[in-house]
Amino acid sequence: MGICLEANRGQLFSALLPQEFLYFYPLNPKCAARLREVYKADPGKTDPSDADLLGHFLVQNWPRLRPWGPEDHLTRRLQTLVEFEQSWIRCQTALTNQLRARLLLYFPQALTLSPDLDAPLVLGLLARWPSLPAVQRVGAAKLRRFVAQHCRRAEAVAAHVQALRQAQPLTTDPVIVEPLTEEVQALGVALSTGRQRLAALRRQIEDLFDAHPDAPIFKSFDGLGPKLGPRLLAYLGTDRTRFATPGDLLAFGGPRRSPRRAASTAWHV
C-alpha cells in the first residue's frame, strides 16, 4: 500500500514505519501547494481535500515516483540532533534580539562589551549588575578583576572599565529601569543556559559524526568544518540511489536559476 504525505519525518511517519507493507511517497509541501492551485478553483487548505488530492496524485504518478526508505539508526539520530541544533540556534537568536532591544532602552553601554550578547562577559555582567548605576557603584578594582576574567588583553580590560565608569545613564526613571532589569536578568539566565546546552549538543553531534562511516567522505571536502560537515551529512543521507545523477542532487537542493544567454549582436543585412 502506498501513502503520499507532505513530509518524511514526524509522528505519523514514526507510527507507520514499522508496517512493512506500507510504501511512503513524501511530497514537498510546496509541491502540494502547487497541486492545490492546479486542481482546485479555491486553493484553500483542508485536511480531507488535501488527502484526496495527494491520493489522486499518487495513483496517477506512482510509476514515476520513488518510495522513501528510512536511513540507518546512526544517520537518523544525527539528523534529529542537527534539526534540534538548528531549532535551538533560532531560539537563541530570538532571545538575543530581545535582550538587545531591552538594553537599548536603558543600558546601551552593555552592547559595546562584546559583539555577541550571549558572551560570558555580557551575561556575567548583567547577572551581577543589570544596570549602569549598579555597575558604577562597584569599585574600580573589583570591576577590573571581573572584566579581566573574560578579556585577555589588558588594553581591552582598561577600555571597558573606563567606558563603564565614565558613561552617563540613558534614563534613571525607576518605572522604566526596574522592570527592564528584571526582564534582562531573566533573558540572561535563559541565554546562559541555552549556550551551555548548545555546546553540549554540538559535542554530541561531533561524536556521532566522527563515529559515522561516511564521515571521512565529508571531512575530505574543503571548507566543511565541524558544524557544516554533520549538517550536510544529515541533509544528504547515506542512500546512494537517491542521487543517480548530478541533476538529481541539484533538484533535491531546490530550483536554481538558469544562466541567461547573451543576446546576439549579429546584424542581418
pLDDT digits (tens, 9 = 90+) for 61-117: 888 888 877 788 899 899 889 999 999 999 999 999 999 999 999 999 999 999 999
* 55-64, 121-130, 236-245: least confident range: 236-245
The reply to whether 60 and 24 lie within a common domain is: yes
Fill in the amino acid letter for 147.
V
Same domain, 105 and 194: yes
Q: Do residues 197 and 81 share a domain?
A: yes
Q: Tens of pLDDT along 102-141? A: 999 999 999 999 999 999 999 999 999 999 999 999 999 9
Residues with Cβ < 8 Å from 209, sequence gap 6 or more?
A: 78, 215, 218, 226, 229, 230, 233
Q: Helix (H, G, I), strand (E, B), or coil: what is residue 193?
A: helix
Per-residue pLDDT, 267:
36
Distance of CA 177 to the CA centre of its chain: 32
Say what the pTM is: 0.75
The pLDDT assigned to 223 comes to 83
Do 181 and 122 belong together in one domain?
Answer: yes
Residue 250 in domain = no
| 160 phi, psi to nearest 5 deg | -65, -45
pLDDT confidence of residue 255: 55
Domain that holds residue 193: 76-137+171-208
pLDDT value at position 101? 96
- List, in sequence order, the alpha helices (H) in the chain: 11-16, 29-39, 47-61, 73-106, 120-128, 132-136, 140-148, 154-166, 174-211, 215-219, 228-236, 246-253
Is 257 part of a structural domain of the chain? no
Domain count, the chain: 2
| Statement to judge: residues 47 and 82 lie in one domain | no
Phi, psi of 214 (to 5 degrees): -90, 0
